[in-house]
Amino acid sequence: MPYVTHLTPKVINILKPFNVQIAHQPQNQIRQLYTNLKSKIPIDKRSHLVYSIPCKNCDKVYIGRTAQRLQGILKGHKYAKTANTALNKHKQSEKHDFDYGRTRILTAERNLKSREMLDMIFIQMNIDNTVNNKTDIKGLSSIYTPLL
């Protein structure tokens, strides 16, 4: 029986002499009738992320972080001419290309220090499978390695 503020206590008192107990069921609320009407942000429009980009030609991935929108950082990676990034070094040394369309968001974090730490953790967790430089995890204590 639904709980109605002024009515239910009176019904309980009427039924008390008959040893009848009532189980109350909450009434539907307006918020239960509507789904979340806020539309999800498309993956390429999201920012403050740690992400991974898989290589098309092998099982390696590049793990990165950004405060920018993902579409902007992917465009930057795709058309970058400098060879001093781990992603470009892999492209040039192995003659491989990355599958930007299969980029995955590993986590979202607005706090810069937390995002940097998460980036190092994801690189360490995938250390044998990343093209990232070993210096990318320099700030992560080796004490945590067995836990990851």
pTM equals 0.68
Task: Inform me whether the pLDDT recorded for 148 exceeds 60.
Answer: no
The per-residue pLDDT for range 63-75, each reduced to its tens digit, is 999 999 999 999 9
Residue 30 within a domain: no
85: its two tokens: 């990034």
Residue 118 within a domain: yes
Report long-range pairs for 137-140 (Cβ below 8 Å, ≥24 apart).
none
108: its two tokens: 């979202």
- Counting the structural domains of the chain, the total is 1
Residue 33 within a domain: no
The per-residue pLDDT for range 13-37, each reduced to its tens digit, is 888 888 888 887 776 677 666 766 6
pLDDT tier for residue 47 given thresholds of 50, 70 and 90: very high
Domain of 117 in residue numbering reads as 43-147
133: its two tokens: 């430089």
Please check whether residue 98 is in contact with residue 56, taking contact to mean a CB–CB distance below 8 angstroms. yes
- Measured between alpha carbons, how far is 36 from 109 in angstroms, rounded to an integer? 22
Residue 116 within a domain: yes
- Measured between alpha carbons, how far is 16 from 7 in angstroms, rounded to an integer? 15
Residue 86 within a domain: yes
Residue 32 within a domain: no
